[in-house]
Amino acid sequence: MTPDLKEHYDYSKWLSEKELTPLEKTYLTILIWADQRLRIVDYLESMENLYYKINMQMPRSHTEQYNLDNKFWYWYPLFALGTFSVIAYIVAAISGALLGFYYSPATAGDPSVAYNQITYIMTDLNFGFMLRSIHRWSAQVMVAAVFLHMLRVYFVGAYKEPRELNWIIGIILISLTLMFGYTGYLLPWDQLSFWAGQIGVEMALSIPILGEWVAQLMFGGFSLGQATLQRMYILHVFVLPFAVTTVIAIHIGIVWMQGIAEPH
């Protein structure tokens, strides 16, 4: 049997007896309301436990143990490259989402709807020229930052045990990033896009055994056309964003769990 203690724990009475600012009062009211339905307290508490277990009890880091002080810090700019990749990714995502309102992936028309929409964005749309420029440059900067980030990880030996898994996830990430760039490169459907696409199809076709299957899957056929552009578009604005965001989250989550490898 559960005892009924409602009277002992009359929260509205408790609230009215306390002297609270309106902010505090609103906060508490919402907290109590939600907690009585969802029992948030339990979750908060177990999160707190988790936090203390993981964070407070960690052995001191290498720099602390050996009292290396600032010996670590002259490397710091290089350790920001991963963060810079994330920032550039976010800028690209925002500008890309805005571009997405005006672009449409179609090869029909004269010369093609896709091409015309890019021209429209660049010449007629307010801020369109700027938006495309920002999107293009944030993508370039992201790729550059990812390359350099990988180099710093290499030269600092941060890929070694226990971080092998994150290195491999990194390889997946850089491949996905390059794919992001490549699919985006095809979207304006100009000469550069078309012939870069041509090389892509040929590369896919020359993969031993799986070639034709890969070409079908990625390019929608063996010669370029509407199917290709549409696939590139879906990859660029639907598949890759989900994939890359998830993998970045895992990647950074692992860094959070393992800590940054310090050069020593």
Q: Does 106 bind ligand HEM (CB under 6 A)?
A: no
Which residue in 107, 138, 177, 183 binds ligand HEM (CB under 6 A)?
177
Which among 147, 227, 231 has a CA at the least distance from the CA of 183? Answer: 231
Amino acid identity of residue 8, one-letter, is H
150, two tokens? 């990988």
Q: Does 86 bind ligand HEM (CB under 6 A)?
A: yes
Q: Does 111 bind other proteins (CB under 8 A)?
A: yes
Q: Does 228 bind ligand HEM (CB under 6 A)?
A: no
Nearest approach, Cβ of residue 67 and ligand HEM (Å): 20
Which among 93, 98, 105 has a CA at the least distance from the CA of 129? Answer: 98
d(CA 6, CA 253): 42
Q: Does 260 bind ligand HEM (CB under 6 A)?
A: yes
* Residues 6+ away with beta carbon under 8 Å from 31: 40
Q: Does 13 bind other proteins (CB under 8 A)?
A: no
Nearest approach, Cβ of residue 44 and ligand HEM (Å): 27
Nearer to other proteins, 12 or 191 (CB): 191
d(CA 90, CA 187): 20
Give helix 191-205 / helix 211-219 axis angle, nearest 10°.
150
Which among 177, 159, 176, 155 has a CA at the least distance from the CA of 254? Answer: 159
Which residue in 167, 205, 218, 243 binds ligand HEM (CB under 6 A)?
167
Choose one: 14-22, 113-121, 151-159, 192-200; the region binding ligand HEM (CB under 6 A): 151-159
214 binds, among other proteins, ligand HEM, none (CB under 5 to 8 A by kind): none
d(CA 144, CA 136): 13
* Residues 6+ away with beta carbon under 8 Å from 131: 95, 98, 99, 121, 125
Residues numbered 195-224 forming contacts with other proteins, rule: CB under 8 A:
195-196, 198-199, 202-203, 205-208, 224
d(CA 51, CA 190): 53
8 binds, among ligand HEM, other proteins, none (CB under 5 to 8 A by kind): none
Nearer to ligand HEM, 93 or 205 (CB): 93
Q: Does 32 bind ligand HEM (CB under 6 A)?
A: no
Contact residues for ligand HEM, defined by CB under 6 A: 79, 81-83, 85-86, 146, 149-150, 153, 158-159, 163, 166-167, 170-171, 173-174, 177, 248, 251-252, 255, 260-261
